[in-house]
Amino acid sequence: MRMRRLRRTSALRDLVSETELSPRRMIQPLFVVSGESVREPVASMPGVERFSINELLGEAAELLAVGVEAVILFGIPSTKDETAGGAYDDEGIVQMAVRALKEAHPELTVITDVCLCAYTDHGHCGFVREGKVDNDITLELLAKTAISHAEAGADVVAPSDMMDGRIGMIRHQLDEEGHAEMPIIAYSAKYASAFYGPFREAAGSTPEFGDRRGYQMNPANVREALREVRLDVEEGADMVMVKPALPYLDVIRAIRDDVDLPIAAYQVSGEYSMLKAAAANGWIDERAAALEALTAIRRAGADVIFTYYAKEVAAWLT
């Protein structure tokens, strides 16, 4: 047997390729800020900007033009408080952005990140009582947030807080409020990762005390990820997510082998910034390395990928 026979030409290699990358399976994260005609570059994430709503509309048009049909929105509110009021305000930054995006581009799939960390004055993903993140009070606030996103016209809600029971609570409340058709992407296996550093700079969501290890997962664990996923499936998740992606390919694979629903993987800010930094230094071929990382994430079993590379990769692929 000669394994090289089917590697001889590019056409032959393409013919027998087991994994494909398509912009249709990529979701572009977008940061939205208040103001008019604002585009602020994020220093630690070259190529990523924070957009005001009017600028966001133009960016969405460019994404659609290259074949990226889905985005996830992260809001950066102008004020923060103890109860994360901006997260579930009908006139909040994400709610207004969703309305504007859906009006300008009804064909764009608008996913919203449901979390409180960018809206609380201490930067934790939940309501803090006596120095601790209170799980069950937080659930109420998350459900309010998801409902306000649904009411603004979001297509999918994606809770990223890692509180226990949030999928069940959000599903129940959405159903009660007439949003039974709203899908939920659960950030099921979200690890307490050092790779979120650049995102926290972009979103201004670094916790002021402590860390997120009391709610996000320990990077050492994979069986626990399966338990998280099974719970979220029971509670009504429509899709589950693994995050970060490249350092957790075994987790993606284990989940793929265990459940049948679609799996998303989030190539997070640190994964993106590492590639950008190495490329800027001339140490790697950015295009080849980014495509290889994304292909590996798909090969491990992810159906869709949240990636800051979505727009760039879409342009490379066409």
> Is the Cβ of residue 2 or residue 44 nearer to ligand PBG in the bound state?
44
Q: Which position among 80, 144, 243, 276 bears the catalytic label?
A: 243
Burial 244-273 (b: 16+ CB within 10 A, else e): bbbebbebbbbbeeebeeebbbbbbbbbbb
The region of 15-23, 53-61, 87-95, 193-201 touching ligand PBG under the rule CB under 6 A is: 193-201
Q: 245 — alpha (psi -120 to 50), left (phi > 0) or beta?
A: alpha
- State yes or no: is 190 an active-site residue: yes
Site for ligand PBG in 40-79 (CB under 6 A): none
| Calculated CA dihedral for residues 276, 279, 284, 287, nearest 10 degrees | 70
Token pair listed for 228: 């998280």
User: Is there binding between residue 113 and ligand PBG (CB under 6 A)?
Assistant: yes
Q: Stretches 145-153, 169-177, 194-202, 223-231: which one binds ligand PBG (CB under 6 A)?
A: 194-202
Among 115, 133, 251, 265, binds ligand PBG (CB under 6 A): 115
Residue nearest to ligand PBG (CB): 199
Q: How far apart are the first and last CA of the chain?
A: 35
- What angle, 0 to 180 degrees and rounded to 10, lies between the N-to-C axes of helices 93-104 and 135-152? 30
Residue of 71, 84, 125, 264 interacting with ligand PBG (CB under 6 A): 125
Q: Which residues contact 164 (CB under 8 A, 6 or more apart)?
A: 135
Site string for ligand PBG, 250-279 (x = CB under 6 A): ------------------xx----------
**Cβ 198 to ligand PBG shortest distance, Å:** 7
Please pick, among 102, 132, 144, 190, the residue that the annotation labels catalytic.
190
Cα(208)–Cα(291) distance, integer angstroms: 36
Question: Shortest gap between Cβ of 214 and ligand PBG (angstroms)?
Answer: 13
Q: Is 117 a residue that touches ligand PBG (CB under 6 A)?
A: yes
Give the residue with the Cβ less far from ligand PBG, 104 or 278: 278
Contact flag: residue 189 with ligand PBG (CB under 6 A): no
Binding ligand PBG (rule: CB under 6 A), the pick from 160, 188, 273, 307 is: 160
Catalytic residue list contains 102: no
Considering the rule CB under 6 A, would residue 309 count as an interface residue with ligand PBG?
no
CB nearer ligand PBG, residue 204 or residue 236: 204
The structure tokens listed for 208 are: 């002021």
Q: Which residues bind ligand PBG (CB under 6 A)?
A: 113, 115, 117, 125, 160, 196, 199-200, 205, 268-269
Catalytic residues: 190, 243
